[in-house]
Amino acid sequence: MIDTQPFWNPLLETLDREKLQQLQLRKFQRIFKWAYDHSRFHRALYDRAGITPADIRSQDDIHRVPTVEKSMMRDIQRKDPFPYGDALCVPLEEVTEFRQTSGTTGQPVYQPDTWQDWEWWAECWAYILWAQGYRPRDRVFIPFGYNIFVAFWAGHYGAEKIGCEVVPGGVLDTASRILKIQELKATAMMATPTYVLGMADAARNQLGIDPAILSIDKITCAGECGASISSTKYRMESAWGAKVYDHAGATEIGAWSYECQAQSGGLHVNEGMFLVEIQDVDTGKIITEPGRRGKMIITAFDRIAQPCVRFDSKDVIEWADYDCPCGRTYRLIKGGVLGRSDDITKVKGVLLSPSAIEEVVRGVQGLGNEYEVVVEKQGDTDRITLKVEFVPEAETRRTDIERELVDQLRLKTNLRYDLQFFSLGALPRYEVKARRFKDMRAKS
């Protein structure tokens, strides 16, 4: 592979739309038939809807295939073939990898993969990393507690696949990880936005090291929306003196999208490996035009052990109305994943997306990186409390900062908040996925 080649797969990533759609149709037909033939769960679902592989002749036919939700997977698992149940499409002995979802929205879902699937995961990540400038000369540090969650496991293998040297940061504590990055002159790393910011704080406060002088020049984020939220991205890039790139993926789906070096404000969908459809939440119709938000229905074309066919991801996305200057023809989703349809909630009758609050908090100079939002019922109305931290040198500008925060919140979210201010370090810190949005209304 030539180092200067901008695309991991020059043929697929620049394929014209018509050919790409023909390829997607053929690949959908193949995975649909695979699931229909090999999974009792999928066969029953499609039989109930009266749809067979022979019925899939066009893109429109795809939209008629029933979607699969996470709750349906929960119902069939923990049964034979144990623990995966009836969606397993291969003999149990062909399964080589076990992972599970984090269970933030209920009982975890188990995810089996074969060795072929695992190579497929690495291939998905090779697109991401190559598009973000990773090359064989890079030394990639992965500060991640390798465990039952897929997180950066596949990023690790993707980096190896393209020829990088990979340093597994495993069970080291944060300070030891930073010192190892310094010692080895690592050039790239992968982490959640929360941890990227947390590491920068630890470098400065525990070790007296300015992270910007370390040799990291690019960081790939996952797990949270932060790297597509401009104010959070800016905080990370200025702290580390590095480019920060977003990507989106999920245990049940795969790594399906990536930001490229052009940083044009969106993520490319890897359309050679996935079919992304955006569904209007109210009408159920498929949205093909830019600028309208809906929830993502996604198919992974080549994953075989437990197929992902029209999976209802609950991720809220919209198509971008511009092409990316990088030259890829893969469509962009604007602003990355905008939230989850079950996170975007009505407060005082107004639709509120937690990422909008993050954008405001991280955009106000003088506030720390952490914040917490609590929504409670008070009589007949909702009450939203926003907890933020002052950085020590900003205490004297408290009134100005408070005013800016109130104005920006009203502008960006159309809501009023009860604000609570804390000193830096008082709010909880998270190592992996943060839980900053707490909706207590159902519990009260």
Which spans of this chain sit near Zn ion (rule: CB under 5 A)? 260, 262, 324, 326, 328
Q: Which residue, 266 or 354, has its beta carbon nearer to Zn ion?
A: 266
Q: Which is nearer to Zn ion, 34 or 245 (CB)?
A: 245
Distances in whole angstroms, Cα of residue 101 to Cα of each of 107, 145, 147, 198, 239: 9, 15, 11, 23, 31
How many angstroms separate the Cα of 167 from the Cα of each of 40, 156, 160, 207, 216? 41, 9, 10, 21, 13
Our CB check for Zn ion shows the closer of 326 and 388 to be: 326
Per the CB < 8 A criterion, the answer to whether 393 and 370 are in contact is no
Q: How far is the CB of 260 from Zn ion (least distance, A)?
A: 3
Shorter beta-carbon distance to Zn ion: residue 15 or 56? 15
HSE toward the beta carbon, residue 174, CA cutoff 13 A: 21
Closest separation in Å from C-beta 391 to Zn ion: 35
Least separation in angstroms between residue 261's CB and Zn ion is 7
**Least distance in angstroms from the C-beta of 336 to Zn ion:** 13
**Which CB, 27 or 328, lies closer to Zn ion?**
328
CA atoms within 13 A on the CB side of 228: 27
Residue type, 95: V
Residue holding tokens 């690949």? 27
Q: Looking at 85-227, list the stretches that DSSP marks H as alpha helix, in order from N- to C-terminal side.
A: 115-131, 153-162, 174-184, 193-207
Neighbours of 5 (CB within 10 A): 10
Shortest CB 268 distance to Zn ion, Å? 6
Q: Round to whole Å and give the CA distance between 318 and 219.
A: 25
Tell me whether residue 186 or residue 326 sits nearer to Zn ion (CB atom): 326
Gap between the Cα atoms of 321 and 303, Å rounded: 30
Between 150 and 260, CB nearer to Zn ion: 260
C-alpha closest to that of 149 among 101, 95, 96: 101
Q: CA–CA separation, 182 vs 212, rounded Å?
A: 11
Q: Which among 62, 40, 39 has a CA at the least distance from the CA of 51?
A: 62
In the bound complex, what is the minimum distance in angstroms from residue 311's beta carbon to Zn ion? 25
Shortest Cβ 127–Zn ion spacing (Å) = 11
Minimum CB separation from Zn ion for residue 296, in Å? 19
Q: Which is nearer to Zn ion, 110 or 319 (CB)?
A: 319
